[in-house]
Amino acid sequence: MKILSLRLIVALIIGVTLVSLASSWFELRTTKDALRRELESKAETLGQSLAAAAEGPLQAGDTARLELMVRRSTNDAHMLGIGIYDRDGTSLVVTPGLGSLLSGAPKLMTDALHGNRTVSGFVRSGLKRTHMVVAPIRAIDNKAIGEVIVVHDATYIRTEIFRAWSRFFLRMAVQVLVIAIITLVVLRWSLTGPIARISQWMKALRTGRHAVQPRAQDLNLLSPFANELAPLAESMWQARAAAETEARLRNINESLWTAQRLADHVRNRLNGSNLFVVSNREPYRHIRQDQKVKVTIPPSGLVTAIEPILRACRGTWVAHGSGNADAETVDTHDRLQVPPDDPRYTLRRVWLSSEEEDGYYNGFSNEGLWPLCHIAHTRPTFRASDWEYYNRVNQKFANALVEEIAGEDHPVVLIQDYHFALLPRLIKDRLPHARVAIFWHIPWPNAESFSICPWQRELLDGLLGADLIGFHTQAHCNNFLNTVHNVLEAKVDWEHFSIERNQHRSSILPFPISVELLDDHSLAQTGMTAEEERSALLQELGIEVTYLGVGVDRVDYTKGILERFQAVESFLERYPKYQGKFTFIQIGAPTRSRIKRYADFQAEVKAEAERINERFKRGKWKAIVFQNREHTHEEVQRYYRAAHLCMVTSLHDGMNLVAKEYVAARQDERGVLILSRFTGAARELHDAIIVNPYDIESTAEAIAHALEMNVSEMVDRMRRMRRSVRERNIYWWAATLIGELCELRLKKAYTNVSVIGRAQVER
C-alpha cells in the first residue's frame, strides 16, 4: 500500500508539474515579450522626441541648449545614457559613461543615418544587457544632419522573469505538499481504510468469528469488490458453522438437523433426481421502487427449509410471479436463477391475471377453503366462478410444471398448501413416473365440516393423486382419512395411514413444521441484555412500563386477536396493580385486505384496542399498542427478546410458528409462552401455559401466572421447549417429508420388481 501511495503521489506530482510548467512558461514568455515591447516603445518615443527637439540647436551650434535637453531626459527609469552626434559621427553632447556602452552601437548608428530612420535593438554591452535606440535628426529638407542615441538598462526584464520563476517554483513546492497530503487523505478514506475494513472482516471469518460485512457506504470504491466477496464469505461462515455443529453433535452423540445435513441427506435420497417445489408465494420478488428494481424476500419458514435442498440439487421452484417488476427479470421461458447474489437453483414464474388471482386466491382459497378448514365460526363462501378460476390456475401451474419436468426420469415434486389441491392429480395423470407430495399447511376439519364444500369430491380426488399427503398433526391426518372414507370409494388403511384408490396408494402422515433455532454462538449479538433491549424498545415507542407482552400475527379472524385483547382487559381489571405497569404490544400485519371479512376484522381489532385503552386511560400509558403494519424479521426478533410473555391464542391453527419463533428467540431462556390449545404447536410445546382462548377469564389468569412465575420455573420451561424446537427444527421437517416420499417410491419400485419376478417364476 505504501508503494502504491508513493507511485500515485509521484505520478500526480509529475503530471501537475508538467502541466504547470508548460502553463507558466507560456505565461512568463508573454510577460517577457510585453516588458520588451513596453521598453522599446518608451525608448523610441523618447529618442524621436529628442531628435525633433535637437534640430534647431544643432543647426545653430547651440551646444549648451543640447546639454540642457539631454540632462532633462536622463531622469527616466532604467536610463543609462543619451548621446547627440553630428552627421560625421562626432559627439556633441554625451552623458558620462555612455562611451563604454557603445561597443555595439556603430552599426545601429550607421543604419539609422544611411536609412534616415529610427533603429533600435537589444545589445549586450560587456556583462550588461541594454536596449539602444538611434533616431536621425532631420533638417527641413528631411535630410539627416545628425542622430540621437538613447540607451536603457534591459537587465530588469531578466530579473523580473527570474523572480517570476522563483515564485512559480515556490508555488509548485506548496502544490506538491498539498497534493501529497490530499492524496494520502483520499487514499486513506477511499482505499486504505476500506481495504483495512475488508481485511478485518476476512480475518474475522478466517478465525471463526461471524463478522458483519461492512456497509457499502463505508467501502467507497471497493463496494463492488466487497459485494462479490460477500456470498463467498457467507458460504465460508456457513460451511464453518455446519462443520462445527456436526462435530459438536458427534461429540455429544446427538443428531440435530442443519441446513448442510439436510442438503446432504436429500441429495442422497434423491439419488440424482431433481426436486420441483410448487407454491403460491415465490421465494424472491422483484419490485420497482424509485425507478430501481429491488429484490425482496418474503418472510417464510418454507424458504428457510426448502432453499438448502434446491441449492444442493439445483432444483426448480415454481411460483406465482407477484412482484411488479418480476416480468422484467426473467428470460424468454419465464425463468431466472436465484438467489440473486449466488445463483444455485431455478425460479419459474407463473403469471396470473387479476381476475385469476382474485378468483383463485382471494375467492376460492381464502373465502372458501380457509374458513372451511379453520373452526373460527366464519362462514365459508363458495362461488362457481371462483371454483372455475381455481381449476384454471391449478391447470396453469400443472402446465408450467410439466414443461420444467420434461425429460426427467425420476422427478420429485413437492406441492405446498391448500391453493393447489387439484395439482397432484393433474401432475400424476400426465407424469405417472413422478413422485408427488403435497403438504397441507392449515388444519383439516372433520368430515361433517368439510362436506359443506360443493366440490369436496373433486378436491379429495385431486389430493389423492399425490403419493404422500402431509399435515401438521395426527388429528388432521385422521380427519382427512375420515373425510375420504365418507365421501369417496377408496380403501382406507387405518393401520398404515394410507388410502388406495384406482390402484394408487397415498400415504397420509403428520410432519409438524418448525423453525430454525440457531446455536447460541451463531446468533447475532446485540450487545444488550433483555432488560436493556426492552428499555430501548419502550423508549422508541414512547411508553414507560415494567412488564411487556407481545403478540405477532397477521390480522386474521382465526388468530384470536379480539379474545386476546379481552383477556388483557380482564387481567388489568382483576389485577389493578398492573395498570400503568403492563403493556401488551400486538404486531398485526395487514392481510387479504381485498376480502371484506378481513377488512371488517381489521377495523374491529383497531376499535377494540382503542376501547380498552380509553377504559384504562392513564397519562401516556396504554394497555394495548396495536402496530398495524409489516415488520421485518429483525424487528420482530427484538420484540420476542424483550417481552416477558408472548400470547398465541389462535382459535384454530395448523401449527402457528409464532410460538416456536418466540421460543427460538429466547436465547436467555427467559420469557413465558401462553399458547392456545387449538394450535398444532400445543401438541409439542407442553411447557407453555396452555389456554382455551374462548375462556377469557382463564386466559387473564394465565397472564398473571406468567408475570408472577419464579425464574427457576421459567427457565426450566423455556429450556425444555427450546430443546424440543432444536431437535425437531425446520430442517428435520423437510428431511422427514422428502425422505419419506423417496422411501415410498423405493418401496413401490421394489414391490413391482418382486411381483414381476414371481410372475416369471410361476410361468
For 652-691, how does the pLDDT look when each residue is reduced to its tens digit (9 = 90+)? Answer: 999 999 999 999 999 999 999 999 999 999 999 999 999 9
357 has pLDDT over 90: yes
pLDDT tens profile 158-201: 888 888 888 888 888 888 888 878 877 777 776 666 777 777 76
In this predicted model, which residue has the larger pLDDT, 417 or 592?
417
Tell me, which fold does domain 36-160 have in CATH? Beta-Lactamase (3.30.450)
Pairing of strands 79-86, 144-153: antiparallel
The pLDDT of residue 237 is 64
The pLDDT of residue 438 is 97
Continuous segment of H or E residues that includes residue 639 = helix 633-642
* Among the listed residues 725, 566, 724, 563, the one whose alpha carbon sits nearest the alpha carbon of residue 652: 563
- If you average pLDDT over each of 36-50, 614-628, 734-748, which comes out highest? 614-628
6 has pLDDT over 60: yes
752 has pLDDT over 60: no
- The C-alpha atoms of residue 731 and residue 664 are separated, in whole angstroms, by 14
In this predicted model, which residue has the larger pLDDT, 178 or 477?
477
The pLDDT of residue 189 is 72
| Mean pLDDT across 634-656 | 94
The pLDDT of residue 20 is 79
Question: Is there a shared CATH topology between the 36-160 domain and the 524-727 domain?
Answer: no
Q: Which residue(s) pair with 289 in the sheet?
A: 292
* Among the listed residues 397, 431, 429, 432, the one whose alpha carbon sits nearest the alpha carbon of residue 416: 397
Name the average pLDDT for the chain.
86
The b/e string for 319-333 (b: 16+ C-beta within 10 A; e otherwise) is bbbbbebbeebbeee
pLDDT tens profile 414-449: 999 999 999 999 999 999 999 999 999 999 999 999
Give the least confident one: 74-83, 396-405, 547-556, 731-740. Answer: 74-83
Label each residue of 69-134 as H, E or C. HHHHHCCCCCEEEEEEEECCCCEEEECCCCHHHHHHHHHHHHHHHHHCCCEEEEEEECCEEEEEEE
The pLDDT of residue 384 is 97
693 has pLDDT over 60: yes
In this predicted model, which residue has the larger pLDDT, 141 or 762?
141
Cell 414464474 sits on residue: 349
| Mean pLDDT across 378-385 | 95
Q: Is 415 helix (H, G, I), strand (E, B) or coil?
A: strand
Q: What percent of the chain has pLDDT over 90?
A: 49
217 has pLDDT over 50: yes
> CB within 8 A of 386, min separation 6: which ones?
359, 360, 363, 364, 367, 368
- The C-alpha atoms of residue 159 and residue 162 are separated, in whole angstroms, by 5
- The C-alpha atoms of residue 188 and residue 198 are separated, in whole angstroms, by 14
Q: How confident is the model at residue 723 (pLDDT cuts 50, 70, 90)?
A: very high
Report domain extents, the chain. 36-160, 223-251, 259-510, 524-727
- The C-alpha atoms of residue 483 and residue 477 are separated, in whole angstroms, by 10
The pLDDT of residue 762 is 35
Q: Which CATH number fits domain 524-727: 3.60.21.10, 2.70.70.10, 3.40.50.2000, 3.40.47.10?
A: 3.40.50.2000
751 has pLDDT over 70: no
759 has pLDDT over 80: no
Cell 556583462 sits on residue: 127
The pLDDT of residue 201 is 67
* C-alpha grid cell, residue 316: 426448480
Q: How confident is the model at residue 283 (pLDDT cuts 50, 70, 90)?
A: very high
Give the least confident one: 32-36, 371-375, 575-579. Answer: 32-36
Q: Which CATH number fits domain 259-510: 3.30.70.1230, 3.40.50.720, 3.90.105.10, 3.40.50.2000?
A: 3.40.50.2000
Backbone torsion region of residue 482, taken as left when φ is above 0, otherwise alpha when ψ lies between -120 and 50, otherwise beta: alpha
Q: What is the DSSP letter of 323?
A: S
Q: Which burial class, exposed, middle or buried, applies to 677 when counting CB atoms under 10 A from its CB (0-12, 13-18, 19+)?
A: middle
| Mean pLDDT across 236-252 | 59
Q: Which residue(s) pair with 676 in the sheet?
A: 691
The pLDDT of residue 512 is 95
The pLDDT of residue 205 is 60
| Mean pLDDT across 18-27 | 82
Give the least confident one: 106-110, 392-396, 410-414, 481-485. Answer: 106-110
In this predicted model, which residue has the larger pLDDT, 632 or 480?
480
